[in-house]
Amino acid sequence: MAKKSAAMSAEFNDRLAKIKDAEKRLSEISELQKHIGAYSKTRDIYARYIKSGMNPDFFEEHRAEITLHLAAKKHFDSLGLKKLPTIAELRKKYATLDVEKKKLYAGYHELKAKSRELLIAKGNADRMLGIKANEQQREADETRARRKHIENDR
């Protein structure tokens, strides 16, 4: 029962890690879409700014747009992007990843329920067999420590 409980807990934690990875990637895609949109909207003004010889008056007049453009460019550079993906490509990736995340969540809720049932059954069996409470507490502490270690690694 203890081995099955530990295996279920490991599977549950693995599923949770995959969900968090998917959520992180979805957030990254959203951020990239936002920067691509800002970059394309401000490209003409930035080109005019460069053409003006980086005129300080022009900069002050269009400070917000130029700052957005430079921030987007800095973001692309931090990602090491040489060629920007299209918004359509990003939307497709986002939709695919969102579907995958929803499937993972469906399995996550099932695993959570099964894990809870298994832990209750294990607790009942331990009480019926007279297993010491401190041994149960040690196992619970080990499980919490494993979960905390997995969450900290993300």
Position 53 confidence tier, pLDDT thresholds 50, 70, 90: very high
Q: Which residues have CB under 8 Å from 13's CB, separation 6+?
A: 146, 147, 150
Contact 66, 46 (CB under 8 A): yes
pLDDT reported for residue 143? 79
How far is residue 43's CA from residue 50's CA, in Å, rounded to a whole number? Answer: 11
**73-127 pLDDT, tens per residue?**
999 999 998 899 999 999 999 999 999 999 888 877 777 788 788 778 877 777 7
Is residue 58 predicted with pLDDT exceeding 90?
Answer: yes
Q: What is the pTM of this model?
A: 0.66
Count of domains for the chain: 1
For the chain, the average pLDDT equals: 85
Amino acid at 75: H
Containing structural domain, residue 77: 2-153
